[in-house]
Amino acid sequence: MQVTIFGATGLLGKTLMHEWHADHVIGLGSRDADIRSNHDVQRTIAQHRPEWVVLAAAYTDVDGCETNRELAFAVNCQGACNVAQAAAESGSKLLFLSTDYVFDGCKQSPYEIDDPIAPQSVYGHSKAEAEAKIRAILPAACILRTSWVFGVGGRCFPDTILKLAATRKELDVVNDQQGCPTYTIDLARVIIQLCRCGATGTVHATNSGECTWFDFASDIVRGAELTTQVHPTSSDKFIRPAKRPAYSVLSSASLRPYAITVPSWQDALRRYLEERKISSSQLF
């Protein structure tokens, strides 16, 4: 199977490149092809003629999107449309990475794939609009929503917590936002399975279970055997430019038809900490 990945130099993209075996995979970063350029995208897909295109490239700075709305929509929406159009013209299948931020966070039970969307941030709006336009261009596309992505080799919540805990005796972390952490290795494996299954439509994929950022941070510090005290606090103590969903747990029901299960976030965190330790030791 021929696969082209846009966003191969990002946190998830690097993991996809490492995990994807037995297929012919081409990974592209923004220097190879700027998805905002329809010409770049058309040329790239025409050159490689992939069976599958995985679009992991995005402007994911949620707060940055609030002050850079034009850039957010240029990358996350128009860029996605450029890729979808080129995929449609070449006969390629498309898997597009979307987000829990398309929901408003007002629900109190896991979000299903057909729940109404109501994004509360520029980032969420840019992804929601991209979803709608991709469905119009390529109705058989696979749109994968995920959340709270973390992994070794880039900026993510556990990395931030560990760096702060190395220099502080106490940390305050919000305890009123509930979601699902997602380890890049587990997410990459889901993506690979979905492509090999010929998946279509919308799916939700995260590690199993749910927690607050405080719960997550507490387990990170405990798992790293650090002595930093983690204290719960509320979101109003940490005002951010972009509004975060108070509850954005994604239901895993859409993965069942593909017989895909994902490990718990606690298990994923344990493996992340082990991988991070190995990665750090190799730098010396």
Nearest to 58 by CA among 22, 29, 27: 29
170-174 and 149-150 beta bridge pairing: unpaired
* Dihedral sign, Cα of residue 53, residue 57, residue 58, residue 60: positive
Domain assignment present for 50: yes
Domain assignment present for 213: no
The CATH number that applies at residue 56 is 3.40.50.720
Domain assignment present for 229: no
Q: What is the pTM of this model?
A: 0.97
Domain assignment present for 187: yes
Domain assignment present for 164: no
Please count the other Cβ atoms lying within 10 Å of the Cβ belonging to residue 116: 9
The whole-number mean pLDDT for each consecutive block of 10 residues of the chain, a chain of 284 residues, reads 97 97 95 94 94 98 97 98 97 98 97 97 98 98 98 95 96 97 98 98 98 98 97 93 96 98 98 91 56
What is the residue-wise DSSP string for 200-266?
-EEEE---BS-EEHHHHHHHHHHHTT---EEEEE-GGGS--SSPPPSB-PBP-GGGGGGT----BHH
Annotation says 59 is catalytic: no
CA-derived radius of gyration, the chain: 18
Domain assignment present for 174: no
Domain assignment present for 97: yes
pLDDT of the residue at 282: 65
d(CA 190, CA 262): 8
Q: Are 147 and 98 in contact (CB under 8 A)?
A: no
pLDDT of the residue at 284: 46
pLDDT of the residue at 239: 87
Specify the DSSP element, H or E, that contains 274. helix 265-281
The residue annotated as part of the active site, out of 111, 123, 183, 247, is 123
How many domains are contained in the chain? 1
Q: Are 1 and 48 in contact (CB under 8 A)?
A: no
Domain assignment present for 177: no
Domain span holding position 95: 2-148+183-206+250-258
Q: Are 75 and 55 in contact (CB under 8 A)?
A: no
